[in-house]
Structure 1
Amino acid sequence: MKHPLNWRVTLLALLVSSSAAFADSRPATAPAAATAPHVITQRPGHAGIASANFHATDAGLEVLAKGGNAFDAAIAVASTLSIVEPESSGIGGGFMAVLHRASDGKDVFIDARETAPAAVNTKDYLNKDGTPNRDTALNGPLSAGIPGEPAGLAWLSKHYGKLPLKDALTPAIRLAREGFQPDGRLINAITERQDDIKRWPASTAKYLPEGKPPVAGQVWRDPDQARTLEILGEQGADGFYRGEVGKKLVDAVRAAGGNWTAKDLESYQIKERTPITVDYRGYRVVTAPPASSGGVAVAEILNILSGYDLTKLDDAHRTHLVIEAMRRAFRDHNDYLGDPDFVKMPLDMLLSPYYAAGLRMTILADKATPSSMLPASIAVDPGMHTTHFSVIDKGGNIASITLTVNYTMGSTFVAAGTGVLLNDEMDDFALVPNKPNVYGLLGSAANAPEPGKRMLSSMTPSIVFGADRVGVIGSPGGSTIITQVLEGILAFMDGKDAQGVAAQKRFHHQYMPDRVDVEPGAFDPATADALTRMGHTLKERSPWGYMNVVTWDLKTNKLDAASDPRRESGLGKVQ
């Protein structure tokens, strides 16, 4: 029905009044559990892992077979992905994780996001005319934040694992030494970035050993990274951030024009934070808090949608409401969010059902809201360069972990003698306020770079708890991560199994540009026509994201693991 209120005036009033109670921004350095722990008394008795590469899935299962738990398996999966999938993640990058410990029902968020070096200077990312310098933001050592993944793996082992860290890293070290055959996606990534790779001698030696990308069937070894992982396993986080490896990292970065110092590495700290929780349709979603923007956006969207009975709507009107909720959540994403240790954010407001109710009043039942009616901006296409894996072990411990080096092959800069490919996460800061990053996301002063600050992320690892089912969901995909995870959660709540959730056709709206990106086949012609008549601009784009899902049916006590069929099926395994 037509809404009787002047929705533009209502929305303006809501935005002006958004100086509501601000969330506590003090650092959460101690473990912090979510409210109302999810204590599940039964145990599955078997395990499931879904990752983006069969070597990584097998590494996790190997560690479980040796007596490790889900968190040891997570270390094995992540470190193996660093070897076989460097285009998406690695120990030169970072990760965000939502964990569930079965023994006490504790849910916790591990923030192993990269941080800005102390000498960060926004002038390094500007051209002489004041426009963004995309080269320094995306390529070479100036684009790299201080890595968080090695510290995160050591933290998982010390605080949550059962095995010594070196045992959990053994499969990755062995694979790096003995060699593996790069898959087509890695070969294509190296081919795509080879001109940038050639700018750095150690990168060329590693990724273009004969002056050209590897070919299918070629065995590729990574002895330098194997040695770095060995030192990490023997010495813990200090083995990466101090001593031999730390010195090589700093020396390589500074020799190539970067600004890291030994103190930057030595000062890096893991943060344990309270996850965001939101109840929707009888399920509880446990997801990522800032410095991720994803959990806030997912919670805000679900809160908006909670005012509708989507099951009674046709596909077009249901999709219309989801798009409108996405639009509003991404507007807030751009304006408010950043590192909680540096900025105050109105999380009480953004996560409030009352705020969601106010936003719901601005949505017309059969007409799109032009994004130009909200604060205007510009953006570009989102990207796909991250990875996610999901784990449930036989004891009911759960790990939902998303890892990244940002853009494809990160900075393309390898620190000589370490085998470590550095991230290019500095581009995830608002290096130039209200100018889009490589994924088209905008930012304000809340996400401006500062020494030691974490850049905002779209990573949205999530766990969904229901009365009869549990789902572990996450995906790569730049800014589309948030909407992919949202749609995966909705598909899970609709009763789809792990494969159905991973294969769910996708659509995406991120406020600006004002369009709906649509995967081919997502809408039937009638739905697409109805959405167009409502005022939505649809743009078909190739499939995106590589979701990895594990589900647990509590009634049958059966686990199901599935990888995204858009890439390669069969990567999710149950043991």
Structure 2
Amino acid sequence: MNVKAQCPNASVWASHAMVASGHPLASQAGLQMLHQGGNAVDAAIAMAFATGVLMPDMAGLGGEAFVLYQAPHREITAYLGSGRLPQGYDESKLPKSLTLPLHQGASVSVPGALDLYWRLHQDGGRLPWARVIEPAQRLAEEGFPVDARLAESLQEMTVLQEEAPSCQEVFFPQGQPLVEGELLKQPALANTLKLLQEQGRDGFYRGEVAHDIVKAVTRAGGFLDDDDLRAHETETTKPLSLSFGPYTIYQTPPPSQGVVMLEALAMLGPDFPKDWRQTGANVHQVIESLRWAFYDRREYLGDPLWQHFDPTQLLTEQWIEKRRAGILPRASLIDTTLKEGDTTSLLAVDDEGHVVSFIHSLALSFGSYVFVPERGFFLNNRAGRSFNRIVGHPNQATPGKRPMHTLNTYMVTYGDQFYLAGNTPGGDGQPQWNLMILLDLLQAQALPHEAVSAPRLTIGPATDAHTLSQQSYVVLESRFAPHVIDDLRKRGHNVRVIGPLSGGGSAQVIMRRLGNWVGASDPRGIGQTLGY
């Protein structure tokens, strides 16, 4: 298909700096930091705090985060803000199952996002810490009109009135969810943000906020305690990388599942056709490459501090050739025995050379359903979503271990120069849609708006512990040609066709072209790209 014929909007161009996020008001917060003399780090952190206010179902102080950051003339660094399973985790107190409870207290991992925000700011920020929180604090205190996305999310999650009754006053006044256009004020969250402006990261991981978090988790039947919070630290390390023609692609390493995208790209190779969507055979290659990459992620990868399997082994020539040989003309029957995620991502770049590719999440929508009423935020359910209880499995729930993560984010260099950065929310869809966007950007030389708008497919089940018993499927947006859909069905794929822009995700892309910045936000979401 012609990618350019399907794009509803043009890319945004700017000469000095650019930001992109999943919400227009968050992007404005990032641009505000740049206009106040801040750099891309300040802008990214301001957008992260703002999205926690504007998208409380998707991200926030109770969540986790992953980042790739490049300082001027420095190598790319990965920040892994992934929390551990609490040390007090006691399997004997849970119902017998191969998985953990998906919601409530036992599903909560240590919230890692705030420490990552702090660490990134300490390493690369220019403006005062209190300043980068200020836009979010104001949005929480003064309120903002509920957008269509959040209104739909609240309408779908009326179960929260029973599961998290302490959030009713904020999100379900008079027993009904807020609707589009109504003003949402979050006074408890505003007070928490003000406290963090004054006390920094210790204001979250120690003292009254930590006490209230532990109290909420304990009340919900979980295991988190003060020692878990005090002990948390963000890991900084080298990213994974893959040479792809003249480009080098960087991804967040485990416990992120960024390697899934890299392994699938390696199987396809830099000579993969730029018009791959036009034939069933090429689409089949994409599907099967992803299936093998997800299989390897499930089979071999866990927290690298516990599971000593080198993820770069999955990118070696010998491994890739073995996996290519496993791609047959018909749909595979790769074993998955044993949901789209709710996340938001953002980007920031500046003309000094700071680049931040950032993603954070509560895991599933409204996370664990555990609301901290005194502090105004939900806690993640990453442990419940990701861990299993299979003895000896790389991702077996073990006290002190970090779960394997859906969150991943990427950068690309051309030679030794920054070329582009991108990411998307969407659970196990993330590495899949990132791969397709990169094929368009690198193979077809598409502009960002063309790549984020192009037709998507999604395979499943992939990695989420609670979905692995499902039958394998492929979801295609209806803009794939009928002959491609028919070909895939003849190959044995269980194909479902959905709306033309219903494939999930809310991708952001910013790239360097002709000495300027050019970026775009996904038309499937409400995000916005801004620059100056």
**Partner residue of 1:177 out of 119, 141, 157:** 141
Could you say what secondary structure the match of 1:383 adopts?
Answer: coil
Cross-structure match for 2:517: 559
Say whether 1:401 aligns with 2:363.
Answer: no
**Partner residue of 2:340 out of 383, 393, 396:** 383
Contact in 1 for aligned 2:114/2:201 (Cα 8 Å)? yes
- The alpha-carbon distance between structure 1 residues 402 and 574, as it changes in their structure 2 partners (threshold 3 A), is same
AA of the residue aligned to 1:433: I
Please, which moves more after superposition, 68-77 or 383-392? 383-392
What per-residue deviation string (whole Å, max 9, x for no partner) do you get for residues 504-547 of structure 1?
211123466433221221x2012222223333332224523333
Per-residue deviation, 1:142 = 2.2
Equivalent residue runs for 1:267-416 within 5 Å = 267-293=231-257, 295-306=258-269, 309-311=272-274, 315-364=279-328, 367-371=329-333, 374-375=334-335, 377=337, 382-416=339-373
Query: Structure 2: how far apart are the matches of 1:190 and 1:312?
Result: 39
What per-residue deviation string (whole Å, max 9, x for no partner) do you get for residues 148-193 of structure 1?
1111111111111111211111110111111101112212222222
Say whether 1:107 aligns with 2:76.
Answer: yes
Query: Structure 2: how far apart are the matches of 1:148 and 1:89?
Result: 11
Cα RMSD over matched residues?
2.2
Query: Structure 2: how far apart are the matches of 1:288 and 1:525?
Result: 36
**Partner residue of 2:421 out of 458, 464, 472:** 472
Cross-structure match for 2:440: 491
Query: Structure 1: how far apart are the matches of 2:93 and 2:50?
Result: 34
Query: Structure 2: how far apart are the matches of 1:573 and 1:449?
Result: 42
Cross-structure match for 2:33: 63
What per-residue deviation string (whole Å, max 9, x for no partner) do you get for residues 238-295 of structure 1?
01010121122222322343222111110111100210110112111111110011x2
Query: Structure 2: how far apart are the matches of 1:511 and 1:85?
Result: 26
Cross-structure match for 2:482: 525
AA of the residue aligned to 1:301: A
Query: Structure 2: how far apart are the matches of 1:547 and 1:216?
Result: 19
Query: Structure 1: how far apart are the matches of 2:186 and 2:165?
Result: 16
Per-residue deviation, 1:454 = 1.3
Runs of 4+ in 1 over 4 A off after TM superposition: 311-314
Cross-structure match for 1:9: none
Query: Structure 2: how far apart are the matches of 1:333 and 1:510?
Result: 14
Say whether 1:229 aligns with 2:199.
Answer: no
- The alpha-carbon distance between structure 1 residues 317 and 469, as it changes in their structure 2 partners (threshold 3 A), is farther
- The alpha-carbon distance between structure 1 residues 307 and 476, as it changes in their structure 2 partners (threshold 3 A), is closer
- The alpha-carbon distance between structure 1 residues 178 and 348, as it changes in their structure 2 partners (threshold 3 A), is closer
Query: Structure 2: how far apart are the matches of 1:206 and 1:274?
Result: 41
- The alpha-carbon distance between structure 1 residues 394 and 125, as it changes in their structure 2 partners (threshold 3 A), is farther
What per-residue deviation string (whole Å, max 9, x for no partner) do you get for residues 19-58 of structure 1?
xxxxxxxxxxxxxxxxxxxxxxxxx851111111111000
AA of the residue aligned to 2:54: V
Contact in 2 for aligned 1:300/1:356 (Cα 8 Å)? yes
- The alpha-carbon distance between structure 1 residues 376 and 431, as it changes in their structure 2 partners (threshold 3 A), is closer
Query: Structure 1: how far apart are the matches of 2:74 and 2:460?
Result: 34
Could you say what secondary structure the match of 1:417 adopts?
Answer: coil
Contact in 2 for aligned 1:49/1:550 (Cα 8 Å)? no
AA of the residue aligned to 1:405: L
- The alpha-carbon distance between structure 1 residues 253 and 362, as it changes in their structure 2 partners (threshold 3 A), is closer
Cross-structure match for 2:407: 459
Per-residue deviation, 1:558 = 2.0
What per-residue deviation string (whole Å, max 9, x for no partner) do you get for residues 181-236 of structure 1?
11122122222222233333422232223322112222111121112122222222
Could you say what secondary structure the match of 1:198 adopts?
Answer: helix
Query: Structure 1: how far apart are the matches of 2:448 and 2:238?
Result: 27
Query: Structure 2: how far apart are the matches of 1:223 and 1:311?
Result: 50
Contact in 1 for aligned 2:40/2:348 (Cα 8 Å)? yes
**Partner residue of 1:266 out of 230, 234, 238:** 230
AA of the residue aligned to 1:545: G
- The alpha-carbon distance between structure 1 residues 311 and 243, as it changes in their structure 2 partners (threshold 3 A), is closer
Unaligned runs of 5+ in 1: 1-43, 435-443
Cross-structure match for 1:122: 91
Could you say what secondary structure the match of 1:264 adopts?
Answer: helix
Contact in 1 for aligned 2:452/2:509 (Cα 8 Å)? no
Cross-structure match for 2:6: none
Cross-structure match for 2:10: none
Query: Structure 1: how far apart are the matches of 2:116 and 2:285?
Result: 38
Unaligned runs of 5+ in 2: 1-13, 463-470
**Partner residue of 2:179 out of 215, 229, 245:** 215
Query: Structure 2: how far apart are the matches of 1:179 and 1:141?
Result: 29
Query: Structure 2: how far apart are the matches of 1:358 and 1:268?
Result: 39
Cross-structure match for 1:501: 451
Contact in 2 for aligned 1:549/1:562 (Cα 8 Å)? yes
Say whether 1:77 aligns with 2:35.
Answer: no
**Partner residue of 1:92 out of 55, 62, 65:** 62
Could you say what secondary structure the match of 1:61 adopts?
Answer: helix
Structure with higher strand content? 2
Per-residue deviation, 1:312 = 8.6
AA of the residue aligned to 1:272: T
Query: Structure 2: how far apart are the matches of 1:312 and 1:89?
Result: 35
Per-residue deviation, 1:376 = 5.1
Cross-structure match for 2:215: 251
Cross-structure match for 1:156: 120
Per-residue deviation, 1:352 = 0.8
Please, which moves more after superposition, 212-221 or 479-488? 212-221
Contact in 1 for aligned 2:506/2:524 (Cα 8 Å)? no
Q: State the aligned residue count.
A: 506
- The alpha-carbon distance between structure 1 residues 548 and 517, as it changes in their structure 2 partners (threshold 3 A), is closer
Say whether 1:448 aligns with 2:405.
Answer: no
Query: Structure 2: how far apart are the matches of 1:312 and 1:573?
Result: 30
Per-residue deviation, 1:309 = 4.2
Per-residue deviation, 1:311 = 4.7
Query: Structure 2: how far apart are the matches of 1:469 and 1:112?
Result: 24
- The alpha-carbon distance between structure 1 residues 424 and 110, as it changes in their structure 2 partners (threshold 3 A), is same
User: TM-score normalised to the size of structure 2?
Assistant: 0.90
User: TM-score normalised to the size of structure 1?
Assistant: 0.83
- The alpha-carbon distance between structure 1 residues 125 and 192, as it changes in their structure 2 partners (threshold 3 A), is farther
Contact in 2 for aligned 1:390/1:549 (Cα 8 Å)? yes
What per-residue deviation string (whole Å, max 9, x for no partner) do you get for residues 341-389 of structure 1?
111114242121221012212323xx12421xx44527xxx31411111
Please, which moves more after superposition, 488-497 or 530-539? 530-539
Query: Structure 1: how far apart are the matches of 2:402 and 2:206?
Result: 21
Higher relative contact order (CA 8 A, sep 6+): 2
Percentage of identical aligned residues: 27
Cross-structure match for 1:548: 507
